[in-house]
Amino acid sequence: MTGIHETPALASLAICPNSRSGGECDHCQARKLSVCAALEPHELNALDRLSRKMCFPARETMFEQDEPSDVVYNITSGAVRLYKLLPDGRRQIVGFALTGDFLGLSMGERNVFSADALGEVTACQFSRKQFSDFLDTHPHLLRRLHAFASHELSIAQEQMVILGRRTAEEKVVAFLIGLRNRWSRINGSTVNVPLPMTRQDIGDFLGLTIETVSRMFTKLAKQKSLVITPDGVRLLEPARLEAIAAT
């Protein structure tokens, strides 16, 4: 998880214009995927009253590195790029948040990362203090957050292995299989893997150049392991790719 912040001007622009005053949790596609699944209907209503419904257009910056961390987000639709700017000006992408992911509750007072909407993104925004107070009276929600944090830690550890011990092909395949698994959790089992991020984004995440990423996609397509589609890829040999990802 990463701390987040929205400047007052950006926040006012990002509030969804047609958001209702309550009861939106009943229609939220992220409800069963997110931390909110731990709550009963009356608890959801109480949490809903604390939230602001935010809408971010594609490429909009949601929060910036080193700014005060005073709000948290539950992503209700869309994909978000999380990245850190290094002292020499380079960008390191540290992850991609999808529907159901929760961003916030960092231990520090300032954001460690920045975040941009890759396409249109909607999210529930909470005051960090109000959300922390809500956690104090709902320990089952806190337990679910801890479970999410443990899962994110395991993903971060796997990412360290990918960056340090695998070939370029293995890195790209592991990325695609991991993303396939995450999309399947949202949309159901599928061989279609949407890629809202650019190949430069993928390269910055995997520690590869954009040329190497493109070359690996072309290689996998020539091997008929996948087909490149307008919005991503379709896996033709998922079992083979899963075996490569597991090495």
* Residue-range domain boundaries for the chain: 8-152, 166-245
* CATH entry, 166-245, from 1.10.10.10, 1.20.1630.10, 1.20.140.10, 3.30.420.40: 1.10.10.10
Alpha carbon distance 184, 62 (integer Å): 25
The answer to whether domain 8-152 and domain 166-245 are alike in fold is: no
21-49 pLDDT, tens digit per residue, is 455 676 787 778 888 888 888 888 999 99
| Angle between helices 168-187 and 210-222 in degrees, nearest 10 | 80
What are the pLDDT digits (tens) for 222-247?
999 999 999 999 999 999 999 998 87
The angle formed by the CA atoms of residues 61, 76 and 69, to the nearest 5 degrees, is: 45
For domain 8-152, the question of CATH label 2.70.98.20 is answered with: no
Please name the residue ranges forming H helices in the chain. 8-14, 41-48, 128-136, 139-165, 168-187, 199-206, 210-222, 238-245
**Cα 238 from Cα 176, distance rounded (Å):** 10
Q: What residues pair up with 234 in beta bridges, in sequence order? A: 192, 227
pTM of the model: 0.84
Please report where in the chains the tokens 């397509």 appear, as a residue: 221
